[in-house]
Amino acid sequence: MNFDFTVLPEDDRYRLLTNFVGPRPIALVSTVDEQGRNNAAPMSFFNVFSHEPPILILGIQPREDGAPKDTVANLRRSGEFVVHMVDMAIAQSMLVTGRDVPPGVDEIALAGLTAVPSIQVAAPRIAQSPCAMECRVEQIIDYPRRAIILGRVVQMFVRDECLDAAGRYVNPATYQPIARLHMDNYVTSDHQIVLEDGNEH
């Protein structure tokens, strides 16, 4: 089948794009509100787009009623956020942080996770996440139904056991992030394969 996106309704575009562009890594994003209260939410419109400068991108849509999600309101005001990678150990907690709760509710505490201070930004780091990136907002591209956030990574945490002995490369036996497919379907990284070209030139 073929779909003309210039005439396709929004819901159908969402269904097709999220069903077929995957797996998408999950950013568990922490921010703080104007009163210093913690907030967290998962975002799978997410990836890394550059290392020079080090840029992550998030795509965040408004709530059903058109109001901005807490994450967007907080990072617009504070200019800071922390992106956490999600593994199986915190998969269920990640879902709890995605609940539609009123502003001011601390989803990190709600999910039974632990907030610890970050190094360069005010938004907290979630201690149970194996990898976290402290970000400053670089640019926000606003569409009526989507804010595309470019975040510059200023600090990165990786749990020691997720690195090799030299502390350089990932240890695939201990770092196994999950990613989102369609709807409630996810994949884990517990069955990794090595693909080699075999062509030395």
Ligand X SMILES: Cc1cc2nc3c(=O)[nH]c(=O)nc-3n(C[C@H](O)[C@H](O)[C@H](O)COP(=O)(O)O)c2cc1C
Residue ranges in contact with ligand X by CB under 6 A: 26, 39, 41-45, 59-61, 69-71, 95, 98, 100, 180
Q: How far is the CB of 180 from ligand X (least distance, A)?
A: 5
Q: Which of 94, 153 has the CB closer to ligand X?
A: 94
CB 97 within 8 A of CB 107: yes
Q: Which of 45, 175 has the CB closer to ligand X?
A: 45
Burial of 137 (0-12, 13-18, 19+ CB in 10 A): middle
Q: Which of 12, 161 has the CB closer to ligand X?
A: 12
Task: Please name which of 75, 77, 63, 95 lies closest in space to residue 148, comparing C-alpha atoms.
Answer: 75
Separation of alpha carbons 133 and 49, rounded Å: 14
**Tokens in use for 173?**
């036996």
Q: Which of 92, 139 has the CB closer to ligand X?
A: 92
Q: For 7, which DSSP code?
A: T
Pairing of strands 179-180, 131-143: unpaired
Q: How far is the CB of 79 from ligand X (least distance, A)?
A: 16
Please name the residues in contact with 30: beta carbons below 8 A apart, sequence gap of 6 or more: 38, 39, 40, 81, 82, 84, 108, 115, 123, 124, 125, 126
Q: How far is the CB of 130 from ligand X (least distance, A)?
A: 17
Q: How far is the CB of 8 from ligand X (least distance, A)?
A: 19
Q: How far is the CB of 165 from ligand X (least distance, A)?
A: 33
Strand partners, 150: 57, 139
Q: Which of 17, 173 has the CB closer to ligand X?
A: 17
Q: For 197, which DSSP code?
A: -
Q: Which of 42, 124 has the CB closer to ligand X?
A: 42
Q: How far is the CB of 70 from ligand X (least distance, A)?
A: 4
